[in-house]
Structure 1
Amino acid sequence: MAAAALTHVPLREGLELIIQDFRPTGEMTLRFSREASALHFGYMLKGRVHTVIDQGRRRFFNSPNLAGRGGVLFLPHTISQGHYQAGDHVLGLSVDVSPRLFGQLAEDISPALPDQLRDLVKGARSSNGFVLPATITAPMNAVLRDILAIRRDSPCAGLFTEAKVLELLGLQMEQFIESHRHAGPARAMDRADRAGLRRVLEMLGANLHDQPSLLDMAREAGMSHGKLNICFKQAYGVTVFEWLRQARLDRARELLGAGCSIAEAALLAGFCDQSHLNRCFKRRFGLTPGQYLRARRG
């Protein structure tokens, strides 16, 4: 089914690195359950996976996970399924941290953290769990690449890996602290709000090439467009249209990797024209599509 699977790298007690690097030869679903209450830091570097997470009879999460995105999850007593497309090179990295170790690492900064993480540091663990979306910044991407480049047969591999993993966690906490500092008072979302946001995500994912209007999305979510903007940013860390732009860029990169021309990738991913894709692609990935293709060819 795949050229490789998951690599587990235990570090200190309560800290484990997991590397996901494979290319399914056919459509594939990975299923696993979480009974333990580890805090999960996950990052996608290549490919995409559609993730479904169920907690008992409750559908906790149902959304595509695209390259360039990450998140921190605390999901005890859940069953997760990842759906992968044939031929799609998937490269992801995640870190599992026990709540006890996280409390020790984050004790001094806990007052500045988002409520969910602050409560975890204090030992108040919600049985419902939570998901905090994140974006892979340039410094985080550099650390992720450093981790992947460490030679596993080196006698100091464990030491180097743990140092880089802790650096990654520090960068992620810094991102959350900055977002939390500049955010206004959080608006409490109920179950209907969260279900509406999931429907909007599915709507966006199915219409990358034909952008739905904000009014259509608000109707799908069952809320006003103003409320949709506030709730979407609160839940996913970006606005609706920032999410759509990032998803289109990820799709364009996938199409280029699959052999499409730049003009074809621009059209199929929903960009106005090739020059529009060029500008957005370079802003996001640091390379133009042409430079990206030349780098892939080596």
Structure 2
Amino acid sequence: MGDWARYWRAADRPLEAMHAHFEQHVYHRHSHDTYSFGVTETGAQSFTCRGAAHTSSAGMVMAFNPDEPHDGHAADALGFTYRMVHIGPALVGDVLADRAEREVGLPLFAEPVVADATLAGAVAGLHAALVGPATALARDERLAAAVAAITRHARTAPARRLTGAAGIARRVRDRLDEEYTEDLTAADLAAAAGTSRFAVYRAFRDVYGLSPSDYQRQARLRQARRLIGAGCGIAEAAAAAGFADQSHLNRWFTRCYGVTPGAYRDATHPAN
């Protein structure tokens, strides 16, 4: 069958969908700034998340919180087929606005793999409404139903005190977020955190699950993704986001998102 992927992106809100089959593709460790829910249709995908190995086989749902690092690859030579939906936290909050869950904060998922046929059906139904012929009203209804099913498997996000390693990691992240296009050094980050280079690396890995350099690359990818989604040219987006050139962006975009920047652009701007 070979690897293939199809992508859909809403033009007016943080909502995206992907349908793909991968045999050879290996996802580099990355995260999304959205909630990400995937239903495995055939085969099995193996991945690491939260320091442990997991496998999602046919009928299971993968549930990733915003900014939760993970990777992924086929569990065997036959590969796997899955449908993925990415929903922005603000959109989840809007859907939950009239529900009791919203009063205590946005949900977090205790486990990255859930075996629940009802949940799988809700996510698959939302995906079908997004990529197939459906009215705007039907899509909103499927979105509400999927979020309702999803939140039954979640807990409320606890407040985090920024002390110790969390405080160091947050100061480093703030510096990276502000200057992600710059060629920052370990000394720069240590100065921002007020601690040693080793303490910076250890705290950042412990809190965010990525090295500072991986996080910086991810910040660049997210900015390039936003620019491309807004209609910016790929070469222009690569330069603006801090990549050496378009081929560098292409390589990392595909490794982390499973589609090329061109395919992502065409999902929203098919005439380009």
Bin the TM-score by the shorter chain.
Answer: 0.3 to 0.5
TM-score, normalized by length of structure 1? 0.44
TM-score, normalized by length of structure 2? 0.47
